[in-house]
Amino acid sequence: MAGLAEVAPGVYVHRHPVLDVNATLIVGEDRALLVDTLSGPAQGAALAEEVRRVTPAPLALVNTHHHFDHCFGNAAFGEAGGAIWAHRDAVAQLRDHGPRWQHTWYEQWLPTEPELAEDLGRAVIAVPNRVVHRAATLDVGGRRVELRHLGRGHTEGDLVVLVADAGVVLAGDLVEQGAPPDFGDSYPLEWPETVAALLNLISTDAVVVPGHGAPVDRGFVEHQHGQLSELDWLIRYGHRDRATEQAVAARSPFGPDASLVAVRRGFAELTGGV
């Protein structure tokens, strides 16, 4: 279990070796906020111990989206008293479809990551009950923290978190470092526009914490935006020219294996199927 590393004053990132996923702790004078809680009760409990080594302050939670590796550790933080923030669509996914997602992910990961699968399979899904529509502002012990929904991209309910006094932007899985983005239930034709809106919030010297991988800078996000935009147009032109999904994916900047589902989702967007 990796520890919490301070990336800016009072902002600590835990980079978990399984799936290389990030959780971020923001510490104020007498309050703290944890953004994402990892994959299940075991990972969540270990993360809670790490948090308490840094601060004893009362804690609230934010989930950047509904995927298990960002929110299935919620129940390990029962002391938060149900103060868990998420976008309304992420809340709806967990409330209405959580058990189905849980079963799907368990079956998906069991062959290759059995320990991870067992942990997420044991999770009690703690559904967020502080709902964000477009934006919310939190006072975290005297620190202003903004939650923003900029549009659909990685999922329908992505949140980004801005810690202005530290120059830190938590991008969730709208940005990924070290591996291609995950397009499983994405909106690839909307994702570039959402990241463009994100770039408007990132200064030249900001620290950007992606959903997975090492912290990055504005230049990295600009580059990934360019790749997402290229894939967007490949999908649009491929659909117009009646190209196969495989032929379009083969030209993707993210590689054919990572992009086939993106092309399938994009074609469905163009025909109203998503």
Contact assessment for residue 235 and residue 243, using Cβ atoms and an 8 Å cutoff: no
Cα 117 vs. chain centroid, distance in angstroms?
A: 19
* Bridge pairing between strands 135-140 and 130-132: unpaired
In angstroms, the CA 180 to CA 255 distance is 8
Q: Which amino acid is at 179?
A: A
The CA distance from 245 to 97, in Å, is 28
What domain range is 168 assigned to?
4-216
Contacting residues for 197 by C-beta, under 8 A, at least 6 apart = 150, 151
Residue 179 counted as domain residue: yes
Residue % of the chain over a pLDDT of 70: 98
Q: Residue 71 belongs to a domain with what CATH number?
A: 3.60.15.10
The stretch 218-227 carries a mean pLDDT of 98
pLDDT 10s digits, 227-243: 999 999 999 999 999 99
Using left for φ > 0, alpha for ψ between -120 and 50, and beta otherwise, residue 252 falls in beta
Domains of the chain: total? 1
Is 255 a domain residue? no
Smallest CA-to-CA distance from 195 within 214, 174, 213 is with: 174
Mean per-residue pLDDT over the chain, rounded: 96
Query: For residue 141, is pLDDT > 70?
Result: yes
In a domain, 62, yes or no: yes
Q: Is the pLDDT of residue 85 over 80?
A: yes
